[in-house]
Structure 1
Amino acid sequence: MDVTADSLVARAARELSADADELVADVERGLRREVPELWADPEIARVTTRNIAEHIAAALDGLEHGVEADRIPPPAADLDRARRLARGGVSVTAVLRAHRLAQAIALDRLLAALPRLTTDPELINAAARRLTEVAAGYVDRSSERGVLAYQEERDRRLRWRLSVVNDAGIRIGTTLDIARTTQELADFATEHFADRACVDLLDALLHGRDPDRQPPVLRRIAQRAKPGAHPDSSYAARGTDGPDHPRGADGGVNGDPPAPAVAPQQLHTYPDGSPPARVLATGQPARLPVDGTPGEGHSTLVVPLRARGVTLGVAQFSRDGGPEPYDGEDLLLAQEIAARAAVAVDNACRYTHARATALGLQRSLLPARTPEQSAVDVAYRYLPAGDRLGVGGDWYDVIPLSGARVALVVGDVVGHGVHAAATMGRLRTAVRTLADIDLPPDELLTHLDDVVLRLAAEAATDPDDDAAEIGATCLYAVYDPVSCGCTLARAGHVLPTVVTPDGVHRALDLPPGPPLGLGGLPFEAVEVQLPEGSLFALYTDGLIEARDHDVEAGLTRLRQVLARPARSLDAACDTVLDTLLPERPADDVALLLARTRALGDDRVAGWDLAADPAEVSRARSRVAAQLRRWGLEDLEFTAELVVSELVTNAIRYGRPPVHLRLVLPDPEPPAGPAAPHGRSLLCEVRDASSTVPHQRRARSYDEGGRGLHLVAQLAERWGTRQTRVGKTVWAELNDTAGTFPHFGDLSAI
């Protein structure tokens, strides 16, 4: 039989097929040397090895049976393996080089076999041309099909990856809450590319500190597992040793012995050398190989959460064993999603710390507790805004005044943030200072308006102050329990509400007055009568204003709520806030509720005095008799001395008429060990002169100047206040502190 080129090729292919394993090994060695990226990942290496063996077998079989290159059937899994290489991140250049290198090695072996089969040079030359033609055709066809499948998979993966990353940007970081943001990351991961996910953040960063502890202490913020996911020891419930003794955890990955699981919000550390510890130290992600036999182990991605050059924590994504463990593309996807989530977490941390700072400043500037006074019972609440505006400049205050009166204040500074809180603190201090000199409400607001104008002028000239213009509203009310009269003035503030004991509720009609900071416009005060037991509500506009209703509707709802009976004022405050406000109010709210008291005739005594020095003795006698009726014999000598000095000054330096008044704010001493004082007594002397007495140091030979010094030594407090006609000099005595000094101490007087 004549030997042809085709038959010679078939004999060479048949001979080489017997040593196919050796040929596969030669090709694999060549590819390992020339295309090492195909062997970096164990899973990709297994795919490559199978692909080499099946392509060589298909090509040799086609050559042995004389099949044309375009008719040699490729391996059944060829296209799937090309897609797998695309998902594994292998470059298309590496795929093409692998085809050509494998072709060259196999072709060299076939050409080397031809001279052993025949000595005819023309036949060897024809067979060599035939081998080269078929090999090149087969490789061209198979590589073209593989590259098309590879590119389709790459395009599909790229579109899917862009879609997932875009979806992550929408769904992760919807709020400025740290826990919710991290949980959104865990939920998103388990929906798209993970069976389990957990997020750990550095505990020091959560509290605004730099992490200075090694190994770093983390807090498990979020975690989630799909229903029916492979059990993972890191999710088993366990206790905690407390923040000072965090337990170790390594997640039971990469062959390490599994540690007890980490519970949500639990502090823990990762052992040195563990994948999460390495990721935290280097800031580089890690893709852990499949743990266990194929189809039974876990594939894990450990990705740092980094934002603005700072590592915030670490996220771990695990996939149950199966045909699709994590590959390089999955790692890139996890990095992109984690990077977006890290920025959202960092923003949430910064917002949380700034909000905590502003809230701390706000609460430190608000009264921690109301001072003791006998004019009203009070309850109060401050609720910061629930949205991104943060803390505002709302405030309230209760200021005891002379004559058993009390000042009730509510104000609202324009704007939000630390600047508004700081401005609120300055205005509250100014109000207390102005209240201490007993200014009427309208005059006090006039002076407060000047303060706001000065603050605005300072801010306008400060190049480092980027705050908006300064402005505020304020309502200032003074209640007198003796007359049951309340004098009010407001500067652009919302109207207060009153509920009388008979259940009638109404908003007090007050002149509006301009907001503070406009300047040049007057404020007007109004006096109203509040029967004993009236409920007086002062608040800021955040309580009654909302997007879904106007101010009038809010006022109506407020009056209806206040008209309902409540166990206490504190309970009434809670009911008002629960009824009128949503879960996250759009503006901060200050609420001050006061229930009025009254001091009856049995606790007030007064006498008109003639402008005669002899009246001083009669005044002392009347005071002594009244104190005995009140059971204040211990204060008798001190009160006589103080009244004697005050009446003498009024008669000598003032103008008639002169009036003496005693007020007993508390008929019984406060109960309980927390009460530092006994019963107090107010002594007031009023005359028609507007000249205010001043305490001065008397020299050795001065005849006067010692009376007010003596009053200051004996009284808890003393002072003066202007009235419509004249002035009132007052002194507050206490039956536990108001004792006459020993004669050895008189040198100080």
Structure 2
Amino acid sequence: MSEAEVAMLDALFTQSPLGLRLLDADLRVVRVDALTKHGVAGEDLVGRPFPDSVRGHADPEELARIVRSVLDSGVPVLGHVVWGRLPADPGRKRAYEAFAFRLHDPRGQVLGVALMGFEVTDREKAGARVGVVGAVRERVGRTLDAMVTCRELADTLVPGFADIAVVEVVDSIVRGDAPPLAPLPAHVPLRRVAFRGSADGDLPQAYPLGGVRSVPAPTPYSQALSDLRPRVVTLHPGLPWLETDPTRAAIHASGAHSLLAAPLTLQGTVLGLVSLYRTGKSDPYDEADVEVVLAAADHTALCIENARRYTREHSVAAALQRGLLPSRPASHTALETAFMRATDDRGGGWYDTISLSSARTALVVGKVSGEGINATATMAQLRPVIRSLAASGLEPDELLARLNDTATLLAEERACLPLSDPLYREVLTAGCVYAVYDPLTETCTFATAGHPGPVIAYPDGTVVLPDIPTGPPLGGAEDIPFTTSAIKIPEGSVLAFSSPPIPVTGASDDYGPLQRALAQRERPIHDLCDEVRYTYQAGSDSVLLLARTRPFPADRFAIWPLDDDPTAPATARRLARAQLRAWNIDEDAAYNTGLIVSELVTNAVRYGSPPLEMRLINDRTLTCEVRDTSPATPHLRHARTIDEGGRGLFIIAQLAQVWGTRYTADGKIIWTEQTLR
């Protein structure tokens, strides 16, 4: 070997910052560098077995495995990172990048192994911190659920960055309320929503998950929520603030030696608190770790705020829907109803049961296009219109035609919105099925708008989807008239309305599970509703309305034909009073009914066309009807003092609770309703 080569080799072992070791074929130390012995004399290391010469610096087993592999295979190891601790600083882990090469003589004989390494602790820790931030941005905030987001944060930070992670949020934001401004008032409670401990740091939680409490002060936790600055604290039993929060002291006394408490903040508001602990041999937190937690907290706070806003919109839409839809079905003598709504506020589905005159009931199911609170608001505009039109006695096809006018007007208003409005690009349409059941004739009249009719289960077990013409959607551009279909519905039948429609396939006499569900006549209607829902797996926004027909008591209504002559009013009064006595109606109501019947029949004789018919119905109200074949409609007049007539309908309006006119295929019906005691 030349003098230059010897000089270079000496320089490497005496001046190079690299840690160098030469090992012979038996892996014993032949020579070591002069700068990396850390207080151990070089001559004391020479001759030692290799693992013993590095014990206390890096993982000796891992290094021995690397060196033995290089010696056996001849394949060098380049840039392998190993971790260890120095005897002079055992509290801090250090990273070393190792290089190992097999040495040969000129004849190719194996002489040993050259091992080089240098410390890369700062580089490795910086890379690990960058990886933590990247993992938080990738894994945290994948759902619009604040509690899930907090659990994702805890799962991401443990065990790589923390041995224990606790995440608490302001309790009100879980419900969607706005977060408080900083500093956090002392009385504002936090809800513990996430806790995660590593395998070697599984310490007590101190407070249970879901628990709500205010943060005691002064503690590092309250200070971080006050000035919005993280706190790094070295934990030991003598800390005076542990007495302020003795429950948390259980965590500290169980092995945690380092705490990093950081607030979850966004735009000057406080959303919560993240508390991270390190235990055992983990390095304590330092200022570089604070930067990592701040980046993770900023991302998490933004995700929590997005989830809070979504929860707020969801809560508003759900509250609006609950307030707009009936909380329970209306009671009907000849119709038993039940409904079920599965929704996550994404749609504008609705249902309704409306009591009409003459013991009839209107059944409505519909759905507005679109999602969210805008669809709910549109539904809120259409449903009252249906109720108002139903009260006027319109036939189903006429009602849908008027409802379509309203939907068209709403669609035109939406089209006039600014281009920047998100609703401008959403076409407003709605589907609706409207049915009126008359128990006295056991007939149901249907009309549909962009929505199929119901499924009907007859008493004999047959389940059918009746052939009902489907009209155009409400608010659509199609100028197609709506039509009605009248179907005989015997008592004991079940009508199933749904939105989206119940899918029915197969032959008319075999619908499988749906047929078996609807055909269970003896089951309570609410149990039957559950059974249909189990069979009919709709989406998260769906409406189901069931109606089972029952017989109307025969002794609760009476029908009389009347002669078209001046004696008809007197005959009608006599018949009505006799029937009211049989029903035990009180005298005041009977007297008022006599006057109402007299005026109704008088109008029919004077202005109507024969044949005439009178009907009394004793249901939730007392209904009086007079039928004739004239299309002429009477109207309410305010007669002058000297007028001899014109007071009939005015008297009726004063005596009856409500009154109206209903048109039929062969004429009209004037009806009144009186409330009974």
Q: TM above 0.5, one fold?
A: yes
> 1:285 Cα shift?
1.9
Q: Please, which of 589, 605, 626 is the counterpart of residue 542 of structure 2?
A: 589
* Equivalenced residues, count: 570
Q: Does 1:453 align with 2:421?
A: no
Aligned partner letter, 1:222 = A
> 1:597 Cα shift?
2.2
Q: Please, which of 375, 378, 383 is the counterpart of residue 428 of structure 1?
A: 383
Q: Which residue of 2 aligns with 1:404?
A: 359
Q: Is the 8 A contact 1:658 1:687 kept in 2?
A: yes
Aligned partner letter, 2:368 = V
Partner deviation per Cα, 1:216-259 (whole Å, 9 max, x = no partner): 32111222334563644xx2xxxxxxxxxxxxxxxxxxxxxxxx
In 2: Cα distance, 1:372 partner to 1:568 partner: 15
> 1:325 Cα shift?
2.4
In 2: Cα distance, 1:278 partner to 1:218 partner: 15
Q: Which residue of 2 aligns with 1:616?
A: 569
Aligned partner letter, 1:533 = G
Which has the larger helix fraction?
A: 1
In 2: Cα distance, 1:529 partner to 1:296 partner: 78
Taking structure 1 as reference, are residues 88 and 450 closer, same or farther at Cα in structure 2, changes over 3 Å only?
farther
Q: Please, which of 509, 515, 518 is the counterpart of residue 467 of structure 2?
A: 509
Partner deviation per Cα, 1:352-402 (whole Å, 9 max, x = no partner): 1110111111121112333343231111122113xxxx4310000111111
Taking structure 1 as reference, are residues 566 and 416 closer, same or farther at Cα in structure 2, changes over 3 Å only?
farther
Q: Please, which of 497, 505, 526 is the counterpart of residue 455 of structure 2?
A: 497
Aligned partner letter, 2:375 = A
In 1: Cα distance, 2:580 partner to 2:38 partner: 120
Q: Does 1:661 align with 2:620?
A: no
Q: Please, which of 185, 201, 204 is the counterpart of residue 214 of structure 1?
A: 185
In 1: Cα distance, 2:138 partner to 2:515 partner: 43
Taking structure 1 as reference, are residues 449 and 88 closer, same or farther at Cα in structure 2, changes over 3 Å only?
farther
Q: Does 1:391 align with 2:337?
A: no
> 1:83 Cα shift?
14
Q: Is the 8 A contact 2:56 2:85 kept in 1?
A: no
Q: Is the 8 A contact 1:82 1:149 kept in 2?
A: no
TM-score by length of 2: 0.76
Secondary structure at 2:320 match in 1? helix
Q: Which residue of 2 aligns with 1:189?
A: 157
Q: Which residue of 2 aligns with 1:176?
A: 144
> 1:335 Cα shift?
3.1
Aligned partner letter, 1:647 = V
Q: Is the 8 A contact 2:164 2:278 kept in 1?
A: yes
Q: Which residue of 2 aligns with 1:50?
A: none
Partner deviation per Cα, 1:151-187 (whole Å, 9 max, x = no partner): xx44434444444444333433332222222222223
Which has the larger strand fraction?
A: 2
Q: Which residue of 2 aligns with 1:13?
A: none
> 1:416 Cα shift?
0.7
In 1: Cα distance, 2:559 partner to 2:254 partner: 98
Partner deviation per Cα, 1:553-610 (whole Å, 9 max, x = no partner): x9764344223456422222223334433xxx64411111111123254333212222
Taking structure 1 as reference, are residues 542 and 185 closer, same or farther at Cα in structure 2, changes over 3 Å only?
farther
In 2: Cα distance, 1:479 partner to 1:84 partner: 92
Q: Does 1:287 align with 2:240?
A: no
Aligned partner letter, 2:647 = R
- Which range moves more in the overlay, 445-454 or 554-563? 554-563
Taking structure 1 as reference, are residues 191 and 568 closer, same or farther at Cα in structure 2, changes over 3 Å only?
farther
Q: Structure 1 regions of 5+ residues with no counterpart?
A: 1-53, 64-72, 91-144, 236-260, 666-678, 737-749
Aligned partner letter, 1:657 = P
Taking structure 1 as reference, are residues 424 and 280 closer, same or farther at Cα in structure 2, changes over 3 Å only?
same
Taking structure 1 as reference, are residues 334 and 557 closer, same or farther at Cα in structure 2, changes over 3 Å only?
farther
Aligned partner letter, 2:148 = R
In 2: Cα distance, 1:504 partner to 1:470 partner: 37
Taking structure 1 as reference, are residues 83 and 483 closer, same or farther at Cα in structure 2, changes over 3 Å only?
farther
> 1:88 Cα shift?
8.6
Secondary structure at 1:702 match in 2? coil
Q: Which residue of 1 aligns with 2:263?
A: 304
Taking structure 1 as reference, are residues 649 and 76 closer, same or farther at Cα in structure 2, changes over 3 Å only?
closer
> 1:489 Cα shift?
1.0
Between the aligned residues of both structures, percent identity stands at 38
Q: How does 1:52-201 map to 2 (within 5 A)?
A: 77=57, 148-150=118-120, 153-201=121-169
Q: Is the 8 A contact 1:681 1:732 kept in 2?
A: yes
Q: Is the 8 A contact 1:58 1:74 kept in 2?
A: no
> 1:331 Cα shift?
3.2
Q: Please, which of 602, 611, 633 is the counterpart of residue 692 of structure 1?
A: 633
Q: Does 1:715 align with 2:671?
A: no
> 1:722 Cα shift?
1.4
In 2: Cα distance, 1:369 partner to 1:295 partner: 55
Q: Is the 8 A contact 1:303 1:314 kept in 2?
A: yes
Taking structure 1 as reference, are residues 500 and 542 closer, same or farther at Cα in structure 2, changes over 3 Å only?
closer
Q: Which residue of 1 aligns with 2:98?
A: none
Aligned partner letter, 1:719 = G
In 1: Cα distance, 2:400 partner to 2:92 partner: 73
What's the RMSD between the two structures over aligned residues? 3.7
- Which range moves more in the overlay, 654-663 or 308-317? 308-317
Q: Structure 2 regions of 5+ residues with no counterpart?
A: 1-34, 44-52, 59-82, 95-115, 239-252
